[in-house]
Amino acid sequence: MMVMLHNGKLFWPETYQATRCQTLHDSLDCEVIVIGGGMSGALSAYTFAEAGYRTVLIDRGRIAAESSAANTGLLQYMSDKSLHECIDDFGEQSAYYFYRQSYEGLARIEALCRELPDDVQFIKRESVLYASRKRDAQFLKDEYRALRKFAFPCQLLKPSETKSRYHIEADALVTYEDAEINPYIFIQRLLEKAIADFSLTVYEETELKNWESKKGRVICRLSGGKTIHADHAVYAGGYADNHFVKFIKKRKLVRSYALVSHPVDHLWPKRAMFWETARPYLYIRHAQSNRIIVGGLDEQTKRIPSKRKIKKKTRQLQQAFAELFPDIPFDIEAGYGARFGETQDGLPFIGEVPGMRHCYMLLGYGGNGTVYSSFGSKMLLDMVEGRLNERQQIFRLDR
């Protein structure tokens, strides 16, 4: 029985009528198989198909129906782990490499959106990281210096400046070139384009049971006794807790909450995206038709929250928003809780599975998973084609 990774009333799937894909009925052979039809899988399948590989994508359920359906849709080049913290932990060059990859990954998403035939609600936004406590002002200053050293676009604001510009009175770090997106529509449209233009094949309700690397190829055994033979395999199963990912030591599963408002008459200035220095942090963004999305209250557990728990947490999120913006009404349209993944060191997992040649994983664990999936899928293509960079080792699976 498939365990869903969320509970409650989702918002994104209500914004688009997805086309059902076929179920695999026969064994087949391909050059690249991608396992997982969420954000990481969709970007991986698109990347390999666009590069000319005969690519097949499978998902155990429906496309974008699990954690991607609960994706925040915030796109930022900053990660939950700040650049200056990364410098302290990994060294300056590796930290810069990580942040540069994130910056370029976000730019790639923008470029992909321009190629899609329909609007996926990609809109450039400013991100405002505000100090939850006065003493966090120093953290923001340290991060500003690190970002500016490497020419990342940002600005440091005093409380009076933040109040004037965004109606929140706190020290803040503003980053530019960030964006919001409808992740559900983006995945659907991206795969539709890959199917039409690059001959990608997609199968839903087709579950991987096990895989092995044998004689220079990969054998994927599926539910119902079918097999797929491939030259390369990419596992992009998201936050599923299964035997494929048990060997990864630094992963952590958490659950997070979000709620969506009914449309409102007016919003805050510039419709900027907000997050805070506290951990776990609150985030706020605009969505279509003048809706508001508020999320956070992360808990370290892999259990999917009950509806009773979701109701309690959404009330807390609603109150947190009211404290920041008391003049903006917030009537709840949807509220949900979902499982997500984090890592102990703040980096995603991208690379070849130890001891299994031609078997790769892309797990965009962390609060910036869509951006990680964007640059990670290109990184896997480079690995397959022999374009190696020693800096990629910071993302290896067995670190």
What pLDDT sits at residue 189?
98
What pLDDT sits at residue 90?
98
Domains observed in the chain: 22-122+181-249+348-399 (3.50.50.60), 123-180+251-343 (3.30.9.10)
What pLDDT sits at residue 2?
57
What pLDDT sits at residue 254?
95
| The overall pTM is greater than 0.95 | yes
What pLDDT sits at residue 3?
57
Q: Digits of tens for pLDDT over the chain (399 positions)? A: 555 689 999 999 999 999 999 999 999 999 999 999 999 999 999 999 999 999 999 999 999 999 999 999 999 999 999 999 999 999 999 999 999 999 999 999 999 999 998 999 999 999 999 999 999 999 999 999 999 999 999 999 999 999 999 999 999 999 999 999 999 999 999 999 999 999 999 999 999 999 999 999 999 999 999 999 999 999 999 999 999 999 999 999 999 999 999 999 999 999 999 999 999 999 999 999 999 999 999 999 999 999 999 999 999 999 999 999 999 999 999 999 999 999 999 999 999 999 999 999 999 999 899 999 999 999 999 999 999 889 999 999 999
The 3 state secondary structure assigned to the chain is: CCCCCEEECCCHHHHCCCCCCCCCCCCEEEEEEEECCCHHHHHHHHHHHHCCCCEEEECCCCCCCCHHHHCCCEECCCCCCCHHHHHHHHCHHHHHHHHHHHHHHHHHHHHHHHHCCCCCCCEEEEEEEECCCHHHHHHHHHHHHHHHHCCCCEEEECHHHHHHHHCCCCCEEEEEEEEECCHHHHHHHHHHHHHHHHCCEEECCCCEEEEEEECCEEEEEEHHHCEEEEEEEEECCCCCCCCCCCCCCCEEEEEEEEEEECCCCCCCHHHCEEEECCCCCCEEEEEHHHEEEEEEEEECCCCCCCHHHHHHHHHHHHHHHHHHCCCCCCCEEEEEEEEEEEECCCCCEEEECCCCCCEEEEECCCCCHHHHHHHHHHHHHHHHCCCCCHHHHHHCCCC
